[in-house]
Structure 1
Amino acid sequence: MQLGALRTLFAAAFLFLIGFRSMKTIKKEEWKWVIISGFLGTFIPAFLFAFAETEIDSGVVSVLNSTTPLVTLILGVVLFSINFSRNQLIGVIVGLIGCLALILEGASVNPNQNYWYAGLVLCASVCYATNVNIIKRYMQQISPIAIANGNFIVLVIPSLIVLFYSDFFEAKVVQSPEVHTSLMYISILAVVGTGIAKILFNKLVQISSPVFATSVTYTIPIVALMWGLLDGEEFSFYQVLAAGVIILGVYIANRKK
């Protein structure tokens, strides 16, 4: 709970410093979508991922997160009437096959993990998929930095409430050296993985299709597996092959012909 709340608050502080005035460009009738986008695209997933990674490895979490393009495609067609190409459909399916291979192989390499927590990551993927379709459909004319700032200004109070009830402000917590180290890493996560990434992703959604934008999540498992290796997590040769299938899926989905 503290991780999700602090990540949101640190990212909000960073975004306000670089683009607080950009929110003046958001029209009154657009704030409804900005608020919904903030909760679906940032607030709820931050806690779902934090809980999931208490039981399953980061590599597995990142693989499950790669279901986002498929969910985006389905929701885009069913709820938002967004068109898609044959290559996008094929690429998403190929990428999903690679993801499933990574999940199965990860379960055999690390059999002692609680894979029921995978459901939390899948819920986060649904949130992300809904958010990206909302951005494409209803916030195309808002600048990416304004969307990001608008998202986070509405999340500050909920995050403070969560942090207050999580006992973070107790003396034994605040004065702990381990907590000080954790805060440093949370700040890096918030600025790079949330603040900057949020602006870039919003721009990517606006200049491309939702499926194209979310297909970048197919490359996350590859990066996460490398970081996981440095952190002592295990992966096999077959997981490397599955990562190659994921890259192939991204290539197919983004081909023009």
Structure 2
Amino acid sequence: MFTQSPARKWAYFLALSIIWGSSYILLKKGLESFSYLAAATIRLVSAGLVFLPFGLAYFRKIPSGKWPLVVLSGLLSSLIPSYLFSLSQEHIQSSTAGILLAITPSFTFLSALFFVRKTYSSLQILGLFLGLFCSITLSLLSSTGLNLSINGYVFLVVIATLCYGININLVKQYLADVPPLHLSTVSVTLNGLIAFLFVYLPNQQLFQFTPDTINACLALVTLGVVGTALAQVLHVKLIYSSSPLFASAITYLIPVVAIFWGILDNESFTIIHFMACLGILASVYLIRQEANQIA
């Protein structure tokens, strides 16, 4: 079992909040020059290249019986969500996408009840549903963030958060005996190879690398190296050293960072956004008590 001091757990928590909260504006910049398919692929391949030497070294250290779960964890934690978020952000604001990530703890909670019969306190449940309510409210905003209307693309984010919630419990319950660095580097490397072989090679016409696309490409590479590769290592360490609920609670602070970048990029920020953020911060306060229960 891998344990960390409480201070280090909170350091992982805050670092990931900043990194992942900044991911949405980077993806937005990348989508200015590339399609959602190309943007997600550049992100995944960049992350895979960074971890390739480590991933190859750790391939044989993964227990043979764990390989199906390691592959599944990689798909749920990065590959599937990367394409879902890219497609959704062609139609919704980057800040709204970040805010919707707060649904993740609700799916973490539900999957924990279903798979491992884990229970939580009434205050934690209240915090989870408060965050979920605020996220649903935000999902009714149009792509411009100015009018209330149903935007179907937000459901892609919901599916991505479902993937995150299931993966957190999967890692905690069934992959706890695999060292965090081994799991994260192998998963990221595999995702990069899958994206390269099955998306890039058959669709090379989508990847037009010209002087006009340099800034967008740099944004996506940064997203891949920092927001996917480095963040994956930190997140796995956080999962191993805490409980699933605490690890998923990071998605309550990510929206705050995403909104900050959105405002700087002239995205709309209405009273509905503001009230939802207050609700999300209140849910963080309620769920924080769980930190005291971490072994």
In the superposition, the TM-score normalised over structure 1's length comes to 0.89
Q: Which runs of 5+ in 1 are unaligned?
A: none
In the TM superposition, what are the counterparts of 1:160-199 in structure 2 within 5 Å? 160=196, 161-168=198-205, 173-174=208-209, 176-199=210-233
Asked if the contact 1:140–1:206 (Cα under 8 Å) also holds between the matched residues in 2, the reply is yes
Aligned match of 1:62: 98
Q: 1:88 pairs with 121, 124, 129, which one?
A: 124
Provide the residue aligned with 2:22 in structure 1.
none
CA shift at 1:152, angstroms? 2.3
Alpha carbons 2:74, 2:187 under 8 Å: kept = yes
Contact 2:142 2:148 in 1 (8 A): no
* 3-state SS of paired residue (2:90): coil
- 3-state SS, counterpart of residue 56 of structure 1: coil
Aligned CA distance change for structure 1 residues 193 and 246 (closer, same or farther; 3 Å): same
Closer, same or farther in 2 for the Cα pair 1:168/1:66, shift >3 Å?
Answer: farther
| Count of matched residue pairs | 254
Which one of the candidate residues 209, 219, 224 is aligned to 2:243? 209
User: How big is the shift at 1:146?
Assistant: 0.9
Residue 23 of structure 1 contacts residue 149 of structure 1 at CA under 8 Å; is this kept in 2?
A: no
Does the 8 Å CA contact 2:107/2:165 hold for their aligned counterparts?
A: yes
Deviation at 1:184, TM superposition (A): 0.7
Pairing 1:1-257 to 2, within 5 Å after superposition: 1-17=37-53, 21-104=57-140, 109-111=145-147, 115-160=151-196, 161-168=198-205, 173-174=208-209, 176-255=210-289, 256=292
Residues 129-160 of structure 1: per-residue CA shift (max 9 Å, x gap):
11111101111122222111121232233211
Identity of counterpart residues, as a percentage?
Answer: 27
1:27–1:180 CA distance, 2 compared to 1 (3 A): same
- Which residue identity does 1:163 align to in structure 2? Y
Q: Secondary structure at the match of 1:115?
A: coil
Tell me the alpha carbon deviations over residues 213-245 of structure 1, each in whole angstroms, 9 at most, x when there is no partner: 111111111111111111121102442232122
Residues 25-79 of structure 1: CA deviation (Å, up to 9, x unaligned):
3211111111000111111110000000001111111122211100110111012
Quick one: distance in 1 between partners of 2:237 and 2:58?
A: 14
Q: Residue deviations 1:103-144, cap 9 Å, x none?
A: 456778433987111111111111111111110111112222
TM-score by length of 2: 0.79
Aligned counterpart, 2:23: none
